[in-house]
Amino acid sequence: MTDATPHAGLAEEAARVLRDEHERLLTVVGQCATAVAAEWDGDSVADRERVMPPFRRALDGSGALSRLPRALADAVTATGRPMAAPPVAAPPYVVVTGEGVVLRANLGEERLVVLLRAFEVVRDGDDGSHRYRRTDGVEIEAEIV
């Protein structure tokens, strides 16, 4: 998600803070994703319900879910922008998706959006079907929109 817009440097700084200051949290997010994928019969699943609900439960049970708002606040601080409200471990700030965890914060008229990608969506064909596959580690994609 990081791009060449004037905000790319701020988004990259937010991602750097997450990588450097929240390394242990990212490790736990990855461990939760790996535990979810270990329950699959193969290297991927087509059923979203085999990804999102178990991933959310694993994040919650590990304590990672409750720590993600602090990580988001630190990422926002790195942008030098004010945050409209303190984040909580719930939408719209922290959202568990089929690809991982999305962190969002309003920065005045803009928004910081960070994806902690733990799964990839693989398209099966032209019919719109897809599968979820565990990625290698947790990738951080950040942008200011």
Q: What is the mean pLDDT of the chain?
A: 92
pLDDT digits (tens, 9 = 90+) for 98-129: 999 999 999 888 899 999 999 999 988 777 78
3-state secondary structure 24-69: HHHHHHHHHHHHHHHCCCCCEECCHHHCHHHHHHHHHHHCHHHHHH
Mean pLDDT of 38-48: 95
pLDDT value of residue 124: 80
Sheet of 100-107, strand order? 44-45, 130-144, 110-123, 100-107, 94-96
pLDDT value of residue 86: 86
Q: In terms of pLDDT, which residue wins out, 9 or 27?
A: 27
pLDDT value of residue 2: 41
**pLDDT-derived band of residue 6, with 50, 70 and 90 as boundaries?**
low
